[in-house]
Amino acid sequence: MRPFKTVQIIEVYKSLQGESSYTGLPCVFVRLAGCNLRCTWCDSEYTFKGGLRMSLEEIESEVHRLSPEGGLVEITGGEPLLQEREAVALMDRLLPRYTVLLETSGERPLERVPAGVVKIVDVKCPDSGEGDTFRIENLNALGRQDELKFVIASRQDYEFARDFIRQHVLNTRAGTVILSPAFRKDAAGGRDVSHCMVDPQHLAEWMLADGLNARLGLQIHKFIWEPSLKGV
């Protein structure tokens, strides 16, 4: 049996937050290994295998080294809640000093995520290939500080997101609902919208035409750095 409270980690690094309502702020990313989904446009396939085991103390120490003044820390993956017990313990340790964000696919239970963590939860759309994986009970675990995110790869995805938002009155459950164009996973070279699977202008027009009370989000790290770069 593996020792309690070591975590399989891909990387710990500091960059700017590229998504969510915290976009543009400095953030330390703690990227856990492993994912049980296989989204067609996933840009994190390098997290599926490998990594190294780190103790909670080692991770916390590295976070402090990178961001001694406090600030944002995001627990991400892969799917970090595949290592739920360890991820929860890590978030508990970081919360007194940091604003802790958790990026998760929406497929794992959220009930044991510590209060005070900002949950950024995907609802997978049909073109992701994982469209039926959202755990509907998770809606009851959301608070006003939390965010729901739909990654949009087509008009079909947009209509799914629009109808889901309306059906579940999402704006009364989560503080922020975000629609974000999917980025091609093989994107490389130019830092521009040609890599988006849906033109952001089209997505904006659809949202405005439907009067959708949601935020259009762009993955700004794909526009700041070369899109194929890791650890940014």
Q: Counting contacts by CB under 6 A, is residue 37 touching ligand SF4?
A: yes
Residue partners of 225: CB distance under 8 A and separation at least 6: 191, 232
Choice from 78, 80, 181, 217 touching ligand SF4 (CB under 6 A): 78
87-126 footprint of ligand SF4 as x/- string (CB under 6 A):
------------------x---------------------
Strands 98-104 and 118-122: parallel
Contact between residue 94 and residue 116 where contact means Cβ atoms under 8 Å apart: no
Residue among 191, 194, 193 at smallest CA distance from 216? 193
Stretch that binds ligand SF4, among 30-38, 92-100, 158-166, 220-228 (CB under 6 A): 30-38
SS3 70: coil
Q: Counting contacts by CB under 6 A, is residue 51 touching ligand SF4?
A: no
Nearest approach, Cβ of residue 208 and ligand SF4 (Å): 27
Q: Counting contacts by CB under 6 A, is residue 138 touching ligand SF4?
A: no
Choice from 28, 39, 120, 142 touching ligand SF4 (CB under 6 A): 39
Stretch that binds ligand SF4, among 25-33, 73-81, 198-206, 214-222 (CB under 6 A): 73-81
Q: Counting contacts by CB under 6 A, is residue 35 touching ligand SF4?
A: yes
Residue among 184, 134, 124 at smallest CA distance from 157? 124
Q: Across-strand partners of 12?
A: 30
Choice from 9, 42, 90, 170 touching ligand SF4 (CB under 6 A): 42
Contact between residue 102 and residue 80 where contact means Cβ atoms under 8 Å apart: yes
Left (φ > 0), alpha (ψ -120 to 50) or beta: where does 205 sit? alpha
Q: Counting contacts by CB under 6 A, is residue 32 touching ligand SF4?
A: no
Contacts to ligand SF4 by CB under 6 A = 35, 37-39, 42, 44, 47, 77-79, 105
